[in-house]
Amino acid sequence: MNNHILRCITCKKEFTPKPGLYYCVDCGYIMGTLEVIYDYETIKDNSKVKQKNFEKKASMYQFDFLLPTESKCKFDEYVGGTPLYKFDLLGIKDVLVKYDGSNPSSSYKDRASSVAINRAIDEGNNTLFCASTGNAASSLAMLNAHTDMKTYIFVPATIPIGKRTQLEISGAQVMAVEGTYDEVYDLSLELGLKKGWYCRHAAINPYLLEGKKTGAFEIVIQNDFTVPDYVLVGVGDGTVISSLYKGFWEFKKIGLTDKIPRIIGVQAEGIPAIKAVFEKGKPYTPHVIIGETVADSIAVGNPRDVIKACTYIEACNGFFISITDEEILDAISELGKETGLFAEPAGAVAFGGLKKLIYEEKITDSDKVCLVITGNGLKDVNAVKDMIHTESLTVDEVVKRLEG
Ligand SMILES: Cc1ncc(COP(=O)(O)O)c(C=O)c1O
Ligand SMILES: [Zn+2]
């Protein structure tokens, strides 16, 4: 479907979409990630846009005029449309909490996998492949299970059991590799592209970001077209954060809003790869770091969407911060107690980041804040198993404790 062109983030060369074109070969697959550009003047005349006719609880395909797919798939109507809660948190009134743990496979990644599946069908490909820290893989495997297409999934063998189980029960071809995510990514990219399979790898496929940007559209619509001052989100490869910027940017571009929030990327202190590149300044230069964190989904030392993430975050006057594993685990527990929402570590970092910024007085109680919680805590209960403190009791002990 050609309602768009592709443009290299670095050299700005433009391309007409065609099967097998994923990045600008002149710039390479990290410097040369592509942006999907639509005809925004025509989109301004779309009746939904003109009348601001959107639903607060509809699937992300209500934004089909800003999506690059034609085919439809069974799950489409259930992807996106996730809740936007308001809570008084950490002394700030009405903090918006976008909870994407309620997507079909329980993470934000469903927004991208759904688009990847539809694009693969559009392009007549019958096999998809994906390297992932866990969620992208489990999302693709589950959303694709009902189709006739095959899915090859490459993950580090150490991914949390919840995500691994999602892969196994959905019948994907699983390659659980003894290596880091960065090693798995490179290995699978070489094999998959050689075979001509459809690539659902973070960053390299520009259409994934298109699915993910719908989270920003929903935040605007569910908050009655008011844009928050700050949006906080966890960052690994950098696609989710880039997608949020693009979503807010596009809604402004087509006249639905008048501002873009300052977007803050929260990384784990053990492996803050994009933060390091951003803080070194321009020209943004990819730089691999080695490290680890309890937040497995954002344990990325060689981020593939680093150029978009840095460029976009600079454009919205945002920044990156990092928090420790201890702060991440505290964030899961505190968020649970304050809201009843259960976040996996990479989702809870948004809350942990807010706490840090309030402490540093960089965000105050007059600011309008939105936290994007990207994954359901049930995906990785092992990370929080030390929080189970209650002892097992006999029936007699319960009665004695409660009735003296
Ligand atoms: C739950 C969760 N949060 C955040 C992220 C970060 O997204 P990205 O790698 O696009 O920066 C991921 C990526 O796997 C994730 O699974
Ligand atoms: Zn280029």
Q: Is 208 in the pocket of ligand 1 (CB under 6 A)?
A: no
Which H or E element spans position 331? helix 325-339
- Note whether 79-107+210-387 and 108-207 share their fold: yes
The answer to whether 48 and 65 are in contact (CB under 8 A) is: yes
Domain 79-107+210-387 has CATH 3.30.70.20: no
Which atom of ligand 1 has the smallest separation from the CA of 109? 16
Q: Which token pair is 121?
A: 């069908």
Q: Is 296 in the pocket of ligand 1 (CB under 6 A)?
A: no
How much is the pLDDT for 202? 83
- Give residue limits of the domains in the chain: 79-107+210-387, 108-207
* CATH tag for 108-207 (out of 3.40.50.970, 3.30.70.20, 3.40.50.720, 3.40.50.1100): 3.40.50.1100
How much is the pLDDT for 390? 86
Q: 84-89 and 92-99 as β-strands: parallel, antiparallel, unpaired? A: antiparallel
Instruction: Please give the share of the chain, as a percent, with pLDDT higher than 70.
Output: 100
Which atom of ligand 1 has the smallest separation from the CA of 238? 11
Residue 68, preceding peptide bond in cis (omega within 30° of 0): no
Among residues 92, 144, 156, which one has the least CA distance to residue 118? 144
SS3 assignment, position 389: coil
How much is the pLDDT for 321? 98
Residue 222 Cα to ligand 1 middle (Å): 22
Residues 376, 182: Cα–Cα separation, whole Å: 23
Predicted confidence (pLDDT) per residue in 208-233, tens digit:
999 999 999 999 999 999 999 999 99
How much is the pLDDT for 11? 98
**What is the pTM for the complete model shown?**
0.97
Q: Which token pair is 107?
A: 């993470």
Residue 333 Cα to ligand 2 middle (Å): 44
Angle at alpha carbon of residue 219, lines to 58 and 48, rounded to 5°: 55
SS3 assignment, position 400: helix
- CA 357 to chain centroid, in Å, comes to 21
| Residues in the chain with pLDDT values less than 50 | none
Mutation pick for ligand 1 pocket among 103, 109, 378 (CB with most ligand atoms within 8 Å): 109
